[in-house]
A and B are shown apart, each in its own frame.
Chain A
Amino acid sequence: MKKELIELRVNGRDHEVAIEPSALLLDVLRQELQLTGSKRGCDDSSCGACTVLVDGVAMMSCTLLAASCEGQEITTIEGVSEHGSLAAIQKAYGDWGGAQCGYCTPGFIMTVKSLLAENPDPSESDIRDALSSNLCRCTGYNQMYEAIRSAIAAERCAVRNSEQGK
């Protein structure tokens, strides 16, 4: 299949890539842009390890044509760290044991990012519902809930502090 040149905006930067029209977003991210943080766990959107944000919406990049994302803002796990430090959710996942083998972790973090963007104060069942798009075989999910609660608290604390600072 003949390759075509497309422009992808990933983590705030524009990339020109020559890809076959059938190329999947996950393969382009991993193989063309070397953004290997998004993982392939199943090939058929069962597991969510490949989750990225496309215009803020959590999407599974293993079943998404890269060409269809032209002109959209793609955020991968590599775009989550803030100013060279861990974002609250990343720190919390490490501290609370939300990540064991870590293979599903990037996908989960992107799913949580999208959840919190929509609903900054999710209930226990909101969190469970949101996470059900992703699978983990290590943690039994319990410690992820603690991590998410802790990250929400940390974010709130940071917001409060910055407001007081004004």
Chain B
Amino acid sequence: MTQPTPRSQRPTTDFSIIGKPTAMVDAAEKTTGAGKYTDDLSVPGMLVGKILHSPCPHARIKRIHTSRAEQLEGVVAVVVGKDAPSPYGILPVGHDEHALAVDKVRYVGDNVACVVAISEAIAEEALELIDVDYEVLPAYFDPEESMKASSDLIHDNRPNNLEKDYHHVFGDPDKGFAEADHVAEARFIANEVTHAAMEPHSTLAAFEIDSQTGKPGRLTVWSSTQVPYYLQHKLSLVLEIPMAQIRVIKPLVGGGFGGKSEVIPIEIIAAVAARKAQAPVKITYTREEVFWAHRGRPRTIIDLKTGVKNDGRIIAVKARVVQDGGAYCSYGVVTILYSGALLGALYDIPNIQYDGYRVLTNKPACGAMRGHGTVNVRFAFESQLDELAAKIGMDPAEIRRRNLLQPPCITVNGLRVQSYGLPECIEKTVTRSGWKERKGKLPRGRGLGVACSHYVSGAANSIIRSDMPHSTVNIKIDRDGGVVVYTGASEIGQGSDTMTAQIAAEVLGCSLSRVRVVAADTDLTPIDIGSYSSRVTFMAGNATLRAATEVKKLIVAAAATKMNCQPDDLVFREDAVVSRNGHVGTAAIESLPRAQPRGPAEQSSAATVSGRVEGQILRGSLQQKRKDEGPKDRMTFEEAVVAAIDFHGALTGTGSYAPPAEARGGKHKGAGVGPSPAYSYSAQVAEVSVDEETGEVTVHKVWAAHDCGRALNPVSVEGQIIGSVWMGMGQALTEEMVWKDGMLMNPGLLEYRSPSSIESPEVEPIIVESVDPEGPFGAKECSEGSLAATIPAIANAIYDAVGIRLHESPFTPERVLAALRAKKNAKAINLTEGVDPTSPTRFREHGGSLWFKGKGPERHPLDPSRHEPAGGAD
């Protein structure tokens, strides 16, 4: 047995903490309500901020009259765009946003002004007193129309409202199609979905007074963010104060899914407002505002062409992808690149052509959402592959097996693949679901469908274009035997803190209860670029492993001296250090107090043992006793720590992780997005039934096998797989942001149709462990890769059930019925013909927010979408 090092893990699965079902380290504070999320915080003198949003989809701001609002009793300040005019954006190439609109508003809901008041009610009242003169401009709502625009551009420096376009050719696609025996070609549309994390975004900002200057100095911001360090950077940019003067603290975060993975205007507005109001300011979005803040998955139009040989081998793929990106760049450039790049690395495809267009429209900006950029294209691809399998007469699971990669390899578009659990994923889902026995033999209206997907374990190239490590972790161990891990990684519910504690405890051979994780506080924790693109386990996990290995070296050296043996002979396990040498052997290990076999998360008894020993250490008697005894073959963890501290003082170790150069991709334009040190893989079978009378689709069960490298915490891995599949099912069946002329028709959780327990199927998660050579203990990502396969698995199951191919998601009863009628050559019926949907013509009233008050979107006189609702005023 060798000690764990970053590049060569123990060739054993005999772990004491890794791989055991472990309750999250913050589970108790979540289940008791004791844990604090941002909106739960308050500081003395705190004021409330409320934001005035634009009622126009596209307009120039001529003037903002704030004086009436400012004079209202209880209003402390009114903040407008010129209070912080510096532009920013999450990507260096996309600095096109302002905290509050400076010259133009670009979507209904854009941020215009912020009122700071002593109460929410007064702030809302004051919003009504702000008058804004708009010069309404023509607006663009459809990406393909928007691309034709020549005047009234959304951003002046983006001709044709085109944020970015990429054109990639790998291999020789034309030759490939010429050689293909079967070619399928179709247009797929995936409508817009959003994260709808349960916690609405919230930010609390407070300045401290500097003792030297007597003026406002350091800024502290508590925010519901997945990226505290990016937030610190953007605050510095917009507020024009040095990063060192800004402290960002991430309290508990109530889910992100990508929606909190960039700097949302509220976070900057709160800080600007706190500066102007000279008091701490908290702003929390209403649920309706969360929908408008959006940054979700864009509506995507995919024109896809795939060619296969008779033996099922894919020979060429051509994809033209248009994303309706909304009014700002956000993560858009990355999203459109992921859509193309991750056509590779799942199957072996020799020839790929990709044309991607990220288009600006007058709607809320789209950004990163779980499965970033890959999900909609994967829906199209896996659906089309199913069609081709049917054409050839091949089993849909078999056609996927025929196209496997042969890793280690580099794909045609430059992605390095090492561990590759896809074959096992397919095998296991097919077996568990009874695919072979049941496929094609289910009663009419019921069917099975299969699909695969994959995802990155973090991006090999960070968006900030720097060579700095992506994660750094510090560990401190002091005389009390407590291990404190300082990590910038952001726990957002996925189990980041627990993963960190597990890895540290496993490497150090101590119990989990000994480890404290201090996370995501820019004053205390070293830089970690955040919780997105499923990078935390792989990157922050590796950094933790390295930091722990580093600090352990000090303990090993001291313990070896005390025990008079070679450092290599020592085994650290379960709060004890034993020499593997000679007479002690495994008997000593077995005689140690073992942690209980952890049927989910029972506390080991080690804590009480250590508590007693610590007491002795503090009295100093133990050291004396140890001296008297001479060399020994066994020490407790505390004794070893104390021995090391006697040499070194308090023990510290630092570890960091940067992806290796070999994993960082090709050289073509846009090659930076897609490469990852490792990819996760998923294969799923969905069982559905379709009611041919109503068009309703019911998902009965999904079998989901996911290759996560190694499951560090199986309960969490299964939770992530189930959650991904569930979210994919939501997008497949019900979730859709419905737009009408730039107005969101369904900005509420029920109207958006987030599935409840009634609509949610059983998901059987199947963990596949391919043990990645570079992952921490072999681990890869497990939180996103499974989402993308669910949508096509359901689509393919619908085909199996009733023989229709659905090319537009979600598969609502309306779309299913239309496809069923088309198949029978029956006349299409328009269920909403002649009906102006019960759509609001103005903002809806949700909760306490009054910012709509009858001010529906204003239309330019020449706006083609301008129309008066039938029957006059609302």
Given A39-B37, A44-B287, A94-B28, verify A137-B195 contact (CB < 8 Å). Answer: yes
Residues from 39 to 59 in A contacting B, C-beta threshold 8 Å: 39-44, 46-47, 49
B754 in the interface, Cβ–Cβ < 8 Å? yes
B4 in the interface, Cβ–Cβ < 8 Å? no
B253 in the interface, Cβ–Cβ < 8 Å? yes
Give the distance in Å from the alpha carbon of A81 to the alpha carbon of B30 in the complex.
12
Cβ proximity bits A31-42 to B, threshold 8 Å, 1 near / 0 not: 100011111111
Give the distance in Å from the alpha carbon of A77 to the alpha carbon of B849 in the complex.
27
Give the distance in Å from the alpha carbon of A95 to the alpha carbon of B24 in the complex.
8
Cβ proximity bits B271-313 to A, threshold 8 Å, 1 near / 0 not: 0000000000000101110000000000000000000000000
Using CB atoms, name the residue of chain A closest to B36: A36
Given A94-B27, A96-B715, verify A76-B848 contact (CB < 8 Å). Answer: no
Give the distance in Å from the alpha carbon of A105 to the alpha carbon of B846 in the complex.
23
Give A8 Cβ to nearest chain B Cβ, in Å: 17
Give the distance in Å from the alpha carbon of A42 to the alpha carbon of B254 in the complex.
13
**Besides the contacts A99-B31, A103-B198, A141-B760, what 11 more A-B pairs have beta carbons closer than 8 Å?**
A95-B600, A97-B715, A99-B30, A101-B253, A102-B35, A103-B197, A106-B31, A137-B257, A137-B754, A141-B726, A143-B715
In the complex, the answer to whether A46 meets B718 with C-beta atoms within 8 Å is no
Give A2 Cβ to nearest chain B Cβ, in Å: 13
Residue numbers in A under 8 Å from B722 (CB-CB): 139-140, 142-143
In the complex, the answer to whether B723 meets A135 with C-beta atoms within 8 Å is no
Give B759 Cβ to nearest chain A Cβ, in Å: 8
Residue numbers in A under 8 Å from B695 (CB-CB): none
A74 in the interface, Cβ–Cβ < 8 Å? no
B750 in the interface, Cβ–Cβ < 8 Å? yes
Using CB atoms, name the residue of chain B closest to A37: B33
Residue numbers in B under 8 Å from A67 (CB-CB): none
Residue numbers in A under 8 Å from B39 (CB-CB): 36, 39-40
In the complex, the answer to whether A101 meets B723 with C-beta atoms within 8 Å is no
A121 in the interface, Cβ–Cβ < 8 Å? no
Give A3 Cβ to nearest chain B Cβ, in Å: 12
Residue numbers in A under 8 Å from B757 (CB-CB): 127-129, 131-132, 134, 141, 144
In the complex, the answer to whether B749 meets A47 with C-beta atoms within 8 Å is yes
Cβ proximity bits A136-150 to B, threshold 8 Å, 1 near / 0 not: 111111111000000
Contact partner, A137, options B23, B33, B197, Cβ 8 Å: B197
In the complex, the answer to whether B32 meets A37 with C-beta atoms within 8 Å is yes
Residues from 464 to 498 in B contacting A, C-beta threshold 8 Å: 492-495
Contact partner, A140, options B21, B197, B253, B725, Cβ 8 Å: B725
Using CB atoms, name the residue of chain B closest to A79: B33
A86 in the interface, Cβ–Cβ < 8 Å? yes
Can you list 17 pairs linking A and B with CB atoms under 8 Å apart?
A36-B40, A39-B198, A39-B199, A44-B846, A46-B287, A90-B32, A93-B27, A94-B601, A99-B27, A99-B31, A102-B35, A103-B198, A106-B31, A135-B756, A137-B754, A140-B725, A142-B722
Residue numbers in A under 8 Å from B716 (CB-CB): 97
Residue numbers in A under 8 Å from B567 (CB-CB): none
In the complex, the answer to whether A132 meets B758 with C-beta atoms within 8 Å is yes
In the complex, the answer to whether A102 meets B30 with C-beta atoms within 8 Å is yes
B837 in the interface, Cβ–Cβ < 8 Å? no
Give the distance in Å from the alpha carbon of A127 to the alpha carbon of B196 in the complex.
24
Give the distance in Å from the alpha carbon of A39 to the alpha carbon of B28 in the complex.
16
Using CB atoms, name the residue of chain A closest to B713: A97
Contact partner, A47, options B24, B198, B253, Cβ 8 Å: B198
A68 in the interface, Cβ–Cβ < 8 Å? no
Residue numbers in A under 8 Å from B61 (CB-CB): none
Using CB atoms, name the residue of chain A closest to B758: A132
In the complex, the answer to whether A105 meets B30 with C-beta atoms within 8 Å is yes
Using CB atoms, name the residue of chain A closest to B721: A140
Give the bracket for the number of chain B residues in contact with chain A: 35 or more
In the complex, the answer to whether A103 meets B725 with C-beta atoms within 8 Å is no
In the complex, the answer to whether B287 meets A100 with C-beta atoms within 8 Å is no
In the complex, the answer to whether B252 meets A102 with C-beta atoms within 8 Å is yes
A104 in the interface, Cβ–Cβ < 8 Å? yes
Using CB atoms, name the residue of chain B closest to A76: B33
In the complex, the answer to whether A102 meets B601 with C-beta atoms within 8 Å is no
Using CB atoms, name the residue of chain B closest to A49: B198
Give A6 Cβ to nearest chain B Cβ, in Å: 18
Residue numbers in B under 8 Å from A144 (CB-CB): 757
Most buried by A among B24, B32, B287: B32
In the complex, the answer to whether A140 meets B763 with C-beta atoms within 8 Å is yes
Give B121 Cβ to nearest chain A Cβ, in Å: 8
In the complex, the answer to whether B750 meets A46 with C-beta atoms within 8 Å is yes
Most buried by B among A46, A90, A102: A102
Contact partner, B199, options A94, A103, A127, Cβ 8 Å: A103
Give the distance in Å from the alpha carbon of A10 to the alpha carbon of B600 in the complex.
33
Give the distance in Å from the alpha carbon of A94 to the alpha carbon of B603 in the complex.
13
Given A47-B749, A101-B199, A132-B758, verify A41-B493 contact (CB < 8 Å). Answer: no
A60 in the interface, Cβ–Cβ < 8 Å? no
B719 in the interface, Cβ–Cβ < 8 Å? yes
In the complex, the answer to whether B24 meets A42 with C-beta atoms within 8 Å is no
Give A79 Cβ to nearest chain B Cβ, in Å: 9
Give A120 Cβ to nearest chain B Cβ, in Å: 19
Cβ proximity bits A53-84 to B, threshold 8 Å, 1 near / 0 not: 00000000010000000000000111011000
Residues from 706 to 757 in B contacting A, C-beta threshold 8 Å: 715-716, 718-719, 722-723, 725-727, 748-750, 754, 756-757
Residues from 36 to 93 in B contacting A, C-beta threshold 8 Å: 36-37, 39-40, 42
In the complex, the answer to whether A137 meets B35 with C-beta atoms within 8 Å is no
Cβ proximity bits B573-605 to A, threshold 8 Å, 1 near / 0 not: 000000000000000000000000000110000
Give the distance in Å from the alpha carbon of A127 to the alpha carbon of B200 in the complex.
27
Residue numbers in A under 8 Å from B198 (CB-CB): 39, 41, 47, 49, 101, 103-104, 135-138
Given A43-B287, A131-B757, A142-B762, verify A100-B197 contact (CB < 8 Å). Answer: no
A109 in the interface, Cβ–Cβ < 8 Å? yes
Give the distance in Å from the alpha carbon of A128 to the alpha carbon of B755 in the complex.
12
Given A86-B31, A102-B30, verify A43-B847 contact (CB < 8 Å). Answer: yes
A30 in the interface, Cβ–Cβ < 8 Å? yes
Give A1 Cβ to nearest chain B Cβ, in Å: 8
Give the distance in Å from the alpha carbon of A104 to the alpha carbon of B715 in the complex.
19
Using CB atoms, name the residue of chain A closest to B196: A137
Residue numbers in B under 8 Å from A93 (CB-CB): 27, 31
In the complex, the answer to whether B756 meets A95 with C-beta atoms within 8 Å is no
Residue numbers in B under 8 Å from A109 (CB-CB): 31
Give the distance in Å from the alpha carbon of A78 to the alpha carbon of B35 in the complex.
11
B672 in the interface, Cβ–Cβ < 8 Å? no
